[in-house]
Each structure stands twice: as structure tokens, then as C-alpha cells.
Structure 1
Amino acid sequence: MSSLNNILYFQSGLGVLANMFLLFFYTVIILCHRPKLLDLISCQLTFIHIMMVLTGGDIWLTDIFESLNFENDFKCKTTFYLSRVMRGLSICMTCLLSVFQAVTISPSTSLLAKFKHKLKSYTIYAFYYLWSFNLSFSSRWIFYVGAFTNVSDSNQMKVTKSCSIFPMNYIIRALFLTVTVSRDVFLVGVMLTTSAYMVIILFRHQRQCKHLHSISHMRASPEKRATQTILLLVVFFVVMYWVDFIISSTSFLLWKYDPVILTVQKFVMNAYPTITPLVQISSDNRIINILKQVQSVHNQIFKKA
């Protein structure tokens, strides 16, 4: 069990550092340069992932609350509520990222092309709606989560070592799960649809390029690289999200949590927010060029020394 916790701490530390670096990069781009809409979406997704890692169980934010002597009940409600909000925003923003890129790369003859000139205003409205919806939708947990007590242990389901979900009617539990599943199935369906659409566009584009140039002279455009990155993130997200969903929904319906399974679930939950910044950093030429320049300056200083 201790080895699992050590792995979880390492994963969380890596996720926070990678996302902090990416958040700093996007903040500089937004404040000092002309940002793309894709940068605005990615910046919010990076912030969401930082919060997901910080609120993912009995680590980081929980330790901060303990050092500030906050009450356990306040600590539990705050961390669980924020984790649910960020979990919902993660799937929503990933879906928005997929839709945005599908519209961006759509040919002028497609039905999606007419939305290109209004993409900025639509995206800004989507930001407001998604944040408002998830902040309000997850507020129900404030009333059903609190500090774990020794009274009626069998009626409380522990979600961390010090927090638990209070007893609730089976119908309410089923209702919560149904609404959450409906939201997730819809968003995942949209992601898979737009992903399939982007794959078709990339396939057609590659086939056209083969007729014009030899493969050895083909170079991926920035749009193609961005599309491939988003496709990779969407596929990875869908796999990790549903593994997490199966674990959490099964435990929620059976009203039982095993400490080992809980630790594994935390690892699965943090996998996407940890891998995402690493994929984005390795695929963004702007970041790669900056890192190369830093390395070049470092090598020159080292040689002089």
C-alpha cells in the first residue's frame, strides 16, 4: 500500500510541475502575444488539470488545509466539491477542444465551415456556460459529503481516509448516476464523432498530398500536428475516463470502497491530467523552440566556464 501511495505522490508531483510549466507558457502567450483560441482553451484545461491533481484525494490540498487548521468537514466538502467540478470541466473542455479543432480544419465545402467566422464568439459563450453548469451541477455534493465519523460506520461510504459520503436514498443515488452518465455519454459521443471526422479529413488530405509530392518531402502542417495531438488526447481521455467511471460508479452503487481500489482510482484519475501537458509540450513547436534556445544558451555558458 505504501508503494502505491509513493507512486501516486510521484505522479501527482509530475502532473503539477508539467501543468504549471504549461500554464506559465500559455499565460505569457495570452498576455504578451496574440493568442489563438486554441491557446485559450488549452490554458483553461491546464488550470483545470492542476486543480484536479491538487484535489485528487488525501494529498496536496488536504495537507494545506491541515496546516491552516481548517475543520475536517469544511476540508472534505471543499476538496470533494472542487474535484467533482474539475472532473466535469475536464471532460467538457476536452470535448470543446475536439469540436473546435474539427471546425477549424473543416474544408470550405463542409457544413461546419459556416461556423468558422463565429467560432470566437461561440467559444467565449461556451466557456461561460461550461463553468456555470459544472459549478452548479456539482453543488449537490456539498450536502452529501463531510468528515468521516465513527457513528453508523456502515451507513457512510469513505471516499478518503477522513471524508465520506453521507447516507442517501437508493433512488437519489440512481438519479445522480443517471444524470452524470447521460452527460458523460453525450460528451464522449461528441468527442468520438468529431474525432472520426478529423481522422477522415486527415486521411483525405494525406491522400491528396501523395499525388502532389513524394512522401519523403511531406511535412506536417501546424494544423495537422495540432489535430493529431488532440486526437491522441481524446482517445487517451476516453479510455481513462471510463475506467475511472466504472470503478467509481460500481463503488457508488454498492456503497463500498476498498482502500487499494481507491488508490488505483486516484492513479487513473490523475493519469490524464499528468500525460496531457507532456504530450502538449512535446508537440508544440513554440515550446520546443524555446527549450532548444534555453539549452543552446546553457551549452554556451557551460563551454565558456
Structure 2
Amino acid sequence: MKMNKKRKFPSYTALRNTVFFEITIGISANTVLLMFHILTFLLKHRPKPLDLTIAQLALVHLVMLVTVGFVAADTFGFENWGNDLMCKTVIYANRLTRALSICTTCLLSILQAITLSPRNSCLAKFKHKSSHCYPCGLVFLWIFNMLLNGRFLVSIGATPNVTSHSFVFITESCCQWPISYLFRYIFLSLVNVQDISFIGLMALSSGYMVSLLCRHKRQFQHLHSTSLSPKLSPEERATWTILLFMGFFMLMYFLDCIIFLSSGILLKNDPVRHSVQLLVGSGYATISPFVLMSTEKRMIRC
């Protein structure tokens, strides 16, 4: 059924304002985090893999939130794109950045595990290799995800002025054209395999870091009185922050999947659910820069 593009949701003013407020806060925070790392790279030394990862995560989340802002504006009837190029660009950029967000968050967890690993561990040999291989890995992830999400450049277009049950509506102005079952199955399989693989790697690296932190605490209590609480080093404080970061990401990711599966992407079903999905889907991108900035002493001093 053709959607009414002029439809607005006056009874959801509070929810609408919350969506735009979250997007504005997230864009501002990620811009500050990205600019800080850019200035650090330009004024000081060659960036480390961990700094590059945080900068890329801020860039990815910045672009993601900008595209979510366009989607929200179209959803609430503030803007009507009305052309294929705009639809393809916004939806493709949104899907690409969401995929890169998972990849970059996983890399952040793995790099922190490598940084925390002791000298006699199997991960210690990657400490020096990571600075040389890491840029190539980033380029590979960008190219792979750009190709994987390239189907949106073909299957997404402006909503036509005809009535059809074969269109899947993404926003008020954009819809997904019918595609073959085989092509859809291959694409969904690749996306699911990628997401499950990166989430599995996050879980493994997080478990490894927890075991290292627990071992350090037991060694400290063995060497000192148990009445003394161990003082965390900067690396350990950063590790606990990354672990909190991973937990929050997984929570928001699974909440987004649950909402998506329960309501689908048919906007006509329930605009409230779609708005809640926008809030949940943007929650990680909005909160993450504040978590990362809270552990950056250079930013706190500034």
C-alpha cells in the first residue's frame, strides 16, 4: 500500500523531540572526539592503532547520526526527499556506517586485549606488528563493507506514485525494490555471519581481559595485605572502560535486533515503534563518545 507522505505524528511530539535531541547530542560529541584526535595527529606524533580506532569510530558514528537525522526528518514529515539519488546515498551511508560500527568496536576490544596482554602471552607478538598491519586491516574492512552493502545502491529508490504490495518502505520517501530470493538470502547470510563473527570476537577478547584483570587482582592481594584495595593502573582503568563499552554495545545491538524483528521495517505498521527503533539504534553512537572522552586525560585537561 502506498504510504501517505504528508502524514505527520502530532501525538508523538515528545518522542520526536527526544529523537532529534539524541541525534544532536551524538553529532556534537562525536565531532568533538574526532576533532581532538585529528588535532593530536597533526600536532604531535604518529597515531597509535588504538587512537586510529577511536578516531574511526567517532567518524563512523558521526556519519551514522547525520543519516539518522535525515531519516528522522523524513519519518516525521519535515522533509520529502523525492529522488532516487538522495534515497540511495542516505540509506547506503547509514547501512555502511552501522556495519563499520560493529567492526571498529570489535577492533577496539581486540587492540585493548593485545595492549593488556603480558609479555609471555601469545598475543604479545602482535603488539609491534599491529602498528604496521593495522592500516591495511582498516582499508580491507572499508572495502569489504562498501561492497557488501552495495546492494542498497541498486535496490533502494524513491517511493513511486503507484500502489503496490511488493515495495518495502524504508522511510516515507524511500522504498526497497523487490529483489530475488537467492540474492536476498546470500546478502543476509553474509551480513549475519559478519555480525556473529565480530560479536563472538568481542566476547572472547572481553573474557580474556576480565581473566587478566582478575589474575592481577589475585596477585596483588597475595603480595600485599588483603585489607588494601589494589590501585588500578591507567591501562587497567582503560580496560574496564572498554569492557563497559562492549557490554553497552551488545545490549543496544540486541535491543535493536529485537525491536526490528518485532515491528519489521514497514513504517506504516507503527510509527511509535519506528521512533523507538531510531532511539535505540542511535543510542550506542550517542553514548560512546562520552565514555571514550571520560578516559582521555588529555581531553579532560583541555
- Provide TM-score, normalisation by structure 2: 0.87
Aligned-pair identity in percent equals: 41
Q: Which runs of 4+ in 1 moved over 4 A?
A: 59-63, 213-217, 249-257
Identify unmatched segments of 5+ residues in structure 2.
1-11
Q: 1:42 maps to what in 2?
A: 54
**Alpha carbons 1:103, 1:115 under 8 Å: kept:** yes
**Alpha carbons 2:74, 2:172 under 8 Å: kept:** no
Residue 11 of structure 1: SS of its match in structure 2? helix
Q: 2:277 maps to what in 1?
A: 265
Higher helix share: 1
Alpha-carbon RMSD:
2.5
**Alpha carbons 1:85, 1:138 under 8 Å: kept:** yes
Alpha-carbon offset, residue 59 of structure 1:
4.9
Count of equivalent residues = 287
Q: 1:87 maps to what in 2?
A: 98
The whole-number CA distance in structure 2 between the counterparts of 1:142 and 1:71 is 16
The whole-number CA distance in structure 1 between the counterparts of 2:255 and 2:179 is 25
Residue 146 of structure 1: SS of its match in structure 2? strand
Q: 2:255 maps to what in 1?
A: 243
Alpha-carbon offset, residue 169 of structure 1:
3.3
Q: 1:149 maps to what in 2?
A: 160
Residue 125 of structure 2: SS of its match in structure 1? helix
Amino acid at match of 2:165: S
User: Cα distance 1:240–1:217, how it changes in 2: closer, same or farther (>3 A)?
Assistant: closer
The whole-number CA distance in structure 2 between the counterparts of 1:51 and 1:254 is 24
**Alpha carbons 1:58, 1:160 under 8 Å: kept:** no
Amino acid at match of 2:132: S
Q: Does 2:280 match 1:287?
A: no
Q: 2:190 maps to what in 1?
A: 179
Of residues 207, 213, 236, the one that matches 1:224 is 236
The whole-number CA distance in structure 2 between the counterparts of 1:238 and 1:200 is 19
- Provide TM-score, normalisation by structure 1: 0.86
**Alpha carbons 1:54, 1:60 under 8 Å: kept:** no
Q: 1:4 maps to what in 2?
A: 15
Alpha-carbon offset, residue 73 of structure 1:
1.2
Provide, for residues 218-263 of structure 1, a one-character-per-residue CA deviation record: whole Å limited to 9, x for no partner.
Answer: 4321211221111111111111112223333565598975322221
The whole-number CA distance in structure 2 between the counterparts of 1:170 and 1:246 is 23
Q: How does 1:4-43 map to 2 (within 5 A)?
A: 4-34=15-45, 35-43=47-55
Alpha-carbon offset, residue 289 of structure 1:
1.8
Alpha-carbon offset, residue 111 of structure 1:
1.1
**Alpha carbons 2:34, 2:59 under 8 Å: kept:** yes
Amino acid at match of 1:273: A
Provide, for residues 4-53 of structure 1, a one-character-per-residue CA deviation record: whole Å limited to 9, x for no partner.
Answer: 11100000000011111111111111111123321111001000000010
Q: 1:56 maps to what in 2?
A: 68
**Alpha carbons 1:54, 1:61 under 8 Å: kept:** no
Q: How does 1:86-235 map to 2 (within 5 A)?
A: 86-213=97-224, 218-235=230-247
**Alpha carbons 2:241, 2:291 under 8 Å: kept:** yes
The whole-number CA distance in structure 1 between the counterparts of 2:260 and 2:155 is 16
Alpha-carbon offset, residue 107 of structure 1:
1.0
Amino acid at match of 1:94: T
The whole-number CA distance in structure 2 between the counterparts of 1:254 and 1:161 is 10
User: Cα distance 1:43–1:62, how it changes in 2: closer, same or farther (>3 A)?
Assistant: farther
Amino acid at match of 2:214: F
The whole-number CA distance in structure 2 between the counterparts of 1:131 and 1:202 is 33
